[in-house]
């Protein structure tokens, strides 16, 4: 019996499901070991686009064991032992991309393919393959998420009960249950808010600002993965060069279907894949005694259990040994991470943000009568308030569609977005100012809102700097925050709570809020390159 402990769970999020093209390697073995190899060499072959990573050698440097990550499985290779692939004129080290010639070697290695994929579908044959995992390269599409305790994923069932109700001296009282359909999968997990800078050996351009959770923001706000191409339609996350910040915006989210993800929960002894997952909600927490974090939640259409030998598990690779016509699995990060996924979860890879350093600026225009007014040209009311907590919640209000066919257990066939909503709350102590307009306090905010009886929709310019006013930090800029009148909460110290909602410049514009990440820790790791990647 093999149990699964939640503390050993790894979570991967990708825009692809890992299913490759027809004729990709499933199992293979060494026919000719060759010579002069070293463990860690990446060997390219003359047939297809296959590559292998050397994991074991004999006394002459001949290959005895090799690994095939998802991205190295090739395509268009003949089936069942009829194809051999021979090493080309160079091999490459996975650690430093250094090319080494085969010159002087007696025999180049030869590997025989035992089995290959038959079609461009997932291992159970039910879903179309959407591509290979890409880790260490421009266009990376698979990322490990540093998930907090309390994650969840599940899919229940919808059923109908049929009962008999009769009168008489001996009534029938039976009942029967029918399964009708599977509702959408529900999933949720939390991550820390972690900005970072790309270093010289990283999967984007050096000095670019990025975030460990940017793929989640991309799925929340658009239809494309994060990009440094600002003109890319559907891209809600822009990776800006030159240290100007990674920006999340919502102007690309007015679509019926946002970016679909595949979420992999790699437990100790099995891996589950959530298909066509949508990010429905993100809740950003400002609890001042904690580390900045976001809770992501949403739905998916189905759950699959994937095997490593199919190549569809990003945490594993195929491990082929000697002349055995079979493949086992391996999960050493040295060979899986470099090719299959990006991993920035280490303490040295990205910054953590302390909420207690967070600051807020809040301003609103006043009219000549010193009353709050939208679009007024008089002086601006500036509120100097230190928050004691709060949160921001972003909702896509996604709805899933499920058929209801008699005699069949139906599954969801897709989803569509509803109205977008960005709202939140802030807590602060109730204090007063000296009456200076440039330094108003929370009590002045309460008084000003209560006095503006003609202002049915206010527009406060709000900026929340999570982690402080300078890098590393994340700035939430809400140029038109509608604040409700604060409520008083009685305790040892009197405090107040303010609810708010972000408005766009018009009801049809998606400019309610922008989020800007600035990092200070440089992520750099051997084997990563923004160009000239190993992956194929």
Percent of the chain with pLDDT strictly greater than 90: 33
CB contact set of 195 (below 8 Å; sequence gap of 6+): 209, 210, 211, 246, 350, 351, 353, 471, 472, 473, 474, 517, 518, 519, 520
Q: What is the DSSP letter of 80?
A: T
For residue 91, being part of any structural domain is answered with yes
For the chain, how many structural domains are there in total?
1
For residue 27, being part of any structural domain is answered with yes
Arithmetic mean of pLDDT, 248-269: 93
Between 183 and 526, the higher pLDDT residue: 183
For residue 75, being part of any structural domain is answered with yes
For residue 48, being part of any structural domain is answered with yes
Q: Give the C-alpha separation, 189 to 398, whole Å.
A: 18
For residue 108, being part of any structural domain is answered with yes
For residue 406, being part of any structural domain is answered with no
pLDDT of 421: 95
pLDDT of 102: 45
The model's pLDDT over 500-525, given as tens digits with 9 standing for 90+, comes to: 999 999 988 889 999 999 999 998 87
Task: Give the structural domain span for 26.
Answer: 20-120
The model's pLDDT over 390-418, given as tens digits with 9 standing for 90+, comes to: 999 999 999 999 888 888 888 888 899 99
Helix (H, G, I), strand (E, B) or coil at 10: strand
The model's pLDDT over 371-388, given as tens digits with 9 standing for 90+, comes to: 888 888 777 888 888 888
pLDDT of 101: 44
Q: Give the C-alpha separation, 319 to 477, whole Å.
A: 49
For residue 190, being part of any structural domain is answered with no
For residue 26, being part of any structural domain is answered with yes
């Amino acid at each position: 019996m093999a149990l699964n402990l939640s503390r050993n769970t790894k979570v991967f999020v990708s825009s692809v499901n890992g299913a490759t093209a027809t004729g990709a390697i499933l199992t293979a073995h060494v026919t000719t070991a060759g010579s002069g190899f070293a463990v860690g060499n990446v060997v390219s072959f003359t047939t297809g686009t296959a590559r292998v990573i050397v994991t074991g050698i004999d006394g002459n440097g001949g290959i005895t064991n090799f690994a095939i990550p998802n991205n190295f499985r090739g395509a268009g290779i003949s089936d069942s032992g009829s194809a051999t692939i021979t090493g080309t004129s160079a091999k490459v080290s996975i650690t430093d991309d250094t090319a080494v010639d085969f010159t002087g070697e007696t025999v180049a290695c030869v590997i025989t393919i035992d089995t290959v994929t038959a079609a461009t579908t997932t291992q159970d044959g039910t879903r179309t393959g959407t591509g290979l995992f890409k880790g260490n390269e421009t266009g990376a599409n698979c990322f490990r998420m540093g998930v907090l305790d309390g994650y969840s994923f599940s899919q229940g069932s919808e059923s109908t009960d049929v009962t008999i109700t009769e009168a008489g001296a001996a009534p029938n009282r039976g009942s029967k249950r029918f399964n009708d359909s599977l509702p959408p999968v529900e999933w949720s997990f939390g991550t820390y808010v972690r900005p970072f800078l790309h270093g010289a050996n990283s999967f984007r351009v050096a000095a670019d600002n990025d975030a460990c959770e940017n793929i989640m923001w991309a799925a929340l706000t658009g239809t494309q993965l994060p990009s440094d191409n600002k003109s890319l339609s559907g891209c809600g996350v822009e990776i800006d060069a030159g240290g100007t910040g990674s920006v999340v915006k919502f102007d690309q989210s007015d679509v019926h279907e946002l970016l679909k993800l595949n979420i992999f929960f790699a437990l100790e002894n099995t891996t589950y894949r959530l298909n066509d997952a949508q990010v429905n909600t993100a809740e950003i927490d400002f609890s001042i005694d904690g580390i900045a974090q976001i809770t992501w939640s949403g739905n998916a259409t189905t759950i699959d259990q994937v095997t490593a030998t199919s190549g569809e598990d990003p945490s594993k690779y195929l491990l082929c040994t000697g002349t055995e016509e079979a493949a086992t699995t391996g999960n050493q990060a040295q060979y899986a991470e470099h090719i299959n996924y990006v991993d920035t979860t280490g303490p040295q890879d990205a910054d953590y943000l302390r909420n207690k350093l967070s600051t807020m600026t809040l301003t609103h225009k006043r009219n000549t009568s010193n009353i709050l007014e939208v679009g007024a040209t008089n002086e601006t009311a500036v509120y100097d308030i230190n928050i004691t907590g709060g949160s921001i919640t972003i909702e896509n209000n996604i709805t899933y569609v499920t058929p209801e066919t008699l005699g069949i257990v139906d599954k969801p066939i897709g989803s569509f977005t509803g109205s977008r909503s960005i709202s939140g709350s802030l807590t602060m102590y109730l204090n007063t100012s000296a009456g200076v307009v440039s330094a108003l306090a929370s009590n002045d905010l309460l008084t000003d809102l209560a006095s503006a009886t003609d202002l049915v929709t206010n527009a406060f310019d709000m900026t929340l700097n999570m982690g402080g006013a300078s890098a590393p930090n994340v700035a939430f800029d809400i140029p038109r925050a509608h604040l409700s009148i604060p409520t008083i909460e009685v305790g040892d110290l009197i405090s107040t709570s303010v609810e708010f909602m972000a408005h766009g410049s018009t009801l049809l514009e998606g400019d309610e809020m922008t989020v800007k990440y600035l990092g200070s820790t440089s992520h750099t790791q051997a084997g990563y390159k923004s160009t000239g990647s190993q992956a194929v």
